């Protein structure tokens, strides 16, 4: 069968064909896929040639399945398999002036699970920090623990430090997108940042002994900034891998769902297990245990996607100011960002309030502990994640996310009245409310990254660049800046009451979170990006191949694509 000519250099059809041939039929940066009359595809162009055999509309090579996909216009011929002479073989490329039928590389379950392992450690570390840091430095007056700093000072310090540290995500994301190395754009940051992240987390719970308030405050500020910096160095590049590896809406939701399940496991460790550890062995040993888990999780994750992560090699050639300008100008991002931020702030308020809420409502000696209440909420979130994922596949991600926001807006304020209804035991009321509050939280973990990936695809059609880490970093910057307000807001509300018999302050956190969620729902109603954005630029490695082919043609040298 004669070789098919590539479209003109730099065209989107060319990039599509290059993406197919690199992603599903080539082990190097050169070579291309041809189809024989027998229906087999062979890579010709490097010494390690191998065969792919069509199975219906799916090609299988090693642990990678390459499914036939059709894009972009309606009316294209249906994908064909088998194929005789002169026809596209199963999984081959059919192309004309109207449409392109291509192959889509799917991600094996093993790779998804390994990639998601990172969330176990990062969620455990983040949730343990959010749960215990304020409590450790400024415990309630009747908790019989040393007060290292006044509560208002801790709230102000964490707020200021959180706002400053939020800049880390933007800077790290921009640098990651522009990084050129033989290990790709993401791996170096994760490998080098993970141990430092764990070390500084332990130091958070190891303040200098017998220090005055001024020394302790400076120590807390500097160490907290270091934890935030190296958390950004690890998490921003890691999250940027998802839009690069998963190219369709269903794959992105599926991969994010696995991350959510494993992240919920990390949340259980960070909220429930850390509580048990604090009570059994103390704050410092708890921090060492969580830090070790986080480090191991990051290295398992990066090892599991090492080959795929190395493929992200082409830097986004755009300056910092231009990158931020292009990011802010994207309409979908301007709608999605405040929605995600308000949901995150509402959740962070509840998370920060939980130790004080349980202490004030049920008391230290009740059988209903903070651990049990958190376990009920997390169990409800786990049960509802597949329901929201299925709802998103049957309708759309934006509709499922909008529904979850409305559900959270209705349930979060119930924390303000739990335990006050007559004739029903207060403990029963709290358990029911915890389940209702937990149900929509799973969707807050599930949809923001896949929705942001759609925004990234939309941006790539305009800028012709893939800037995953920049978008996710900008989103994280605003989100962390806003959620940094949570400790200060909780401290201010606690002034209205945070002890047994004086619970107004801790009860008002739920209604405040509900107001934020109503605002988020109203904003998100104008989000209109489809689940599958058309006209996107292919991934980073595809761009590298296309650029190389264009340079070869410009210089008059023949070369394989």
Q: Is 434 helix (H, G, I), strand (E, B) or coil?
A: helix
**The pLDDT of residue 34:** 33
Q: Is 138 helix (H, G, I), strand (E, B) or coil?
A: coil
Q: Is 59 helix (H, G, I), strand (E, B) or coil?
A: strand
CB 170 within 8 A of CB 236: no
Cα→Cα distances 312→12, 18, 305, Å: 19, 15, 11
Is it true that domain 109-524 has CATH number 2.60.40.1180? no
The verdict on whether omega for the bond into residue 386 sits within 30 degrees of 0, i.e. cis, is no
Q: Which residue has the higher pLDDT, 423 or 54?
A: 423
Cα→Cα distances 388→336, 400, 401, 403, 447, Å: 18, 6, 8, 9, 9
Alpha helices in 269-369 (DSSP H): 274-281, 283-304, 306-310, 320-329, 331-361
**The pLDDT of residue 179:** 84
User: Structural domain boundaries of the chain?
Assistant: 12-106+543-554, 109-524
**Cα(288)–Cα(106) distance, integer angstroms:** 38
Comparing 9-13, 185-189, 385-389, which segment has the lowest mean pLDDT? 9-13
Q: Which residues pair with 66 in a beta bridge?
A: 59, 105
**The pLDDT of residue 36:** 32
Share of the chain above pLDDT 90, in %: 22
What does the DSSP assignment read for 178-241? H---TTTTTHHHHHHHHHHHHHHHHHHT-PPTT--HHHHHHHHHHHHHHHHHHHHHHHHHHHHH
Q: Reply yes or no on whether the pLDDT at 32 is more than 60.
A: no
Comparing 45-49, 154-158, 234-238, 252-256, which segment has the lowest mean pLDDT? 45-49
User: Pairing state of beta strands 100-105 and 58-61?
Assistant: unpaired
**Cα(530)–Cα(451) distance, integer angstroms:** 9
Q: What is the mean pLDDT of residues 60-89?
A: 39
Q: Reply yes or no on whether the pLDDT at 127 is more than 90.
A: no
Q: For residue 34, give both structure tokens.
A: 């041809």
Q: Reply yes or no on whether the pLDDT at 505 is more than 90.
A: no
CB 373 within 8 A of CB 430: yes
**The pLDDT of residue 364:** 66
Instruction: Supply the mean pLDDT for the chain.
Output: 75
- Read off the pLDDT band of 534 (50, 70, 90): low
CB 451 within 8 A of CB 330: no
CB 327 within 8 A of CB 459: yes
Tell me the whole-structure pTM to 2 decimals. 0.66
**Cα(79)–Cα(282) distance, integer angstroms:** 61
Question: What does the longest C-alpha to C-alpha distance in the chain come to?
Answer: 86
CB 92 within 8 A of CB 66: no
Q: Which residue has the higher pLDDT, 393 or 52?
A: 393
Report pLDDT digits (tens) over 147-182. Answer: 888 888 888 888 888 778 778 888 888 888 888 888
Q: What is the mean pLDDT of residues 124-138?
A: 88
Q: Which residue has the higher pLDDT, 230 or 150?
A: 230
Q: Which residue has the higher pLDDT, 46 or 115?
A: 115
Q: 20: closest CA among 105, 111, 87?
A: 105
CB 94 within 8 A of CB 100: yes
Q: What is the mean pLDDT of residues 62-66?
A: 40
**The pLDDT of residue 10:** 45
Element (H, E) at 103: strand 100-105
CB 290 within 8 A of CB 201: yes
Q: 267: closest CA among 165, 350, 149, 334?
A: 350
**The pLDDT of residue 441:** 86
**The pLDDT of residue 204:** 93
Q: For residue 90, give both structure tokens.
A: 């199963």
302: Cα within 13 Å, side-chain hemisphere: 24
**Cα(287)–Cα(274) distance, integer angstroms:** 8
Considering 136-145, 418-427, 451-460, the range whose residues carry the highest mean pLDDT is 451-460
Q: What is the mean pLDDT of residues 287-293?
A: 94
Instruction: Return all residues near 260 (Cβ < 8 A) that are at least 6 apart.
Output: 119, 385, 442, 445, 446
**Cα(441)–Cα(405) distance, integer angstroms:** 9
Q: Which residue has the higher pLDDT, 547 or 513?
A: 513
Q: For residue 255, give both structure tokens.
A: 């991969």
**The pLDDT of residue 224:** 92
Q: What is the mean pLDDT of residues 322-347?
A: 89
CB 388 within 8 A of CB 442: yes
Q: Reply yes or no on whether the pLDDT at 121 is more than 90.
A: yes
Q: 396: closest CA among 527, 298, 233?
A: 527
């Amino acid at each position: 069968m004669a070789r098919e000519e590539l479209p003109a250099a730099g065209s989107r059809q060319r990039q599509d064909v290059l993406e197919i041939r690199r992603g599903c039929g080539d082990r190097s940066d050169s070579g291309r896929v041809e189809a024989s009359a027998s229906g087999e595809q062979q890579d010709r162009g490097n010494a390690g040639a191998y065969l792919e055999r069509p199975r219906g509309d799916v090609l299988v090579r090693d642990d990678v399945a390459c499914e036939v996909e059709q894009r972009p216009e309606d009316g294209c011929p249906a994908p064909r398999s088998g194929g005789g002479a002169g026809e596209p073989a199963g999984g081959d490329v059919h192309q004309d002036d109207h449409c392109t039928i291509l192959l889509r590389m799917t991600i094996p379950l093993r790779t998804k699970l390994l990639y998601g392992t990172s969330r176990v450690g990062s969620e455990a570390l983040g949730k343990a920090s959010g749960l215990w840091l304020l409590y450790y430095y400024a415990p309630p007056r009747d908790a019989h623990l040393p007060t290292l700093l006044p509560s208002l000072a801790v709230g102000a310090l964490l707020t200021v430090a959180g706002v400053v540290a939020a800049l880390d995500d933007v800077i790290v994301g921009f640098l990651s997108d522009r990084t050129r190395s033989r290990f790709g754009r993401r791996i170096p940051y994760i490998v080098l940042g993970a141990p430092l992240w764990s070390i500084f987390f332990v130091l958070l719970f190891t303040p200098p002994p017998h220090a005055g308030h001024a020394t302790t405050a400076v120590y807390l500020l500097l160490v907290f900034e270091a934890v935030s910096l190296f958390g950004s160095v690890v998490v921003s590049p890691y999250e940027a891998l998802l839009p690069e590896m998963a190219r369709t809406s269903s794959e992105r939701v599926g991969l994010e769902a696995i991350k959510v399940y494993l992240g919920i496991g990390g949340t259980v460790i960070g909220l429930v297990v850390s509580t048990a550890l604090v009570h059994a062995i103390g704050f410092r040993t708890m921090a060492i245990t969580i830090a070790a888990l986080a480090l191991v999780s990051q290295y398992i994750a990066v090892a599991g996607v090492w080959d795929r992560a190395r493929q992200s090699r082409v830097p986004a050639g755009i300056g910092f100011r231009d990158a931020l300008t292009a990011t802010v100008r994207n309409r979908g991002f301007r709608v999605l960002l405040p929605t995600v931020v308000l949901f995150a702030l509402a959740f962070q308020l509840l998370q920060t309030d939980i130790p004080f809420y349980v202490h004030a409502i049920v008391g230290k000696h009740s059988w209903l502990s903070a651990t049990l209440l958190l376990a009920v909420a997390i169990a409800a979130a786990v049960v509802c994640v597949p329901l929201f994922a299925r709802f998103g596949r049957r309708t759309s991600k934006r509709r499922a996310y909008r529904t979850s926001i409305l559900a959270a807006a209705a349930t979060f304020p119930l924390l303000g009245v739990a335990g006050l209804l007559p004739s029903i035991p207060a403990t029963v009321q709290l358990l029911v409310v915890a389940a209702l509050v937990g149900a929509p939280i799973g969707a807050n973990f599930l949809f923001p990254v896949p929705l942001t990936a759609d925004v990234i695809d939309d941006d790539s059609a305009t800028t012709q660049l893939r800037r995953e880490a920049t978008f996710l970093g900008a989103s994280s910057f605003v989100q962390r800046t806003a959620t940094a307000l949570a400790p200060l807001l909780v401290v201010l509300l606690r002034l209205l009451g945070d002890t047994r018999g004086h619970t107004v302050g801790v009860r008002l956190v739920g209604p405040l979170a509900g107001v934020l969620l109503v605002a988020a729902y109203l904003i998100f109603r104008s989000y209109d990006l489809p689940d599958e954005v058309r006209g996107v630029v292919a991934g980073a490695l595809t761009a590298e191949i296309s650029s190389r082919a264009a340079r070869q043609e410009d210089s008059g040298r023949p070369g394989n694509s």
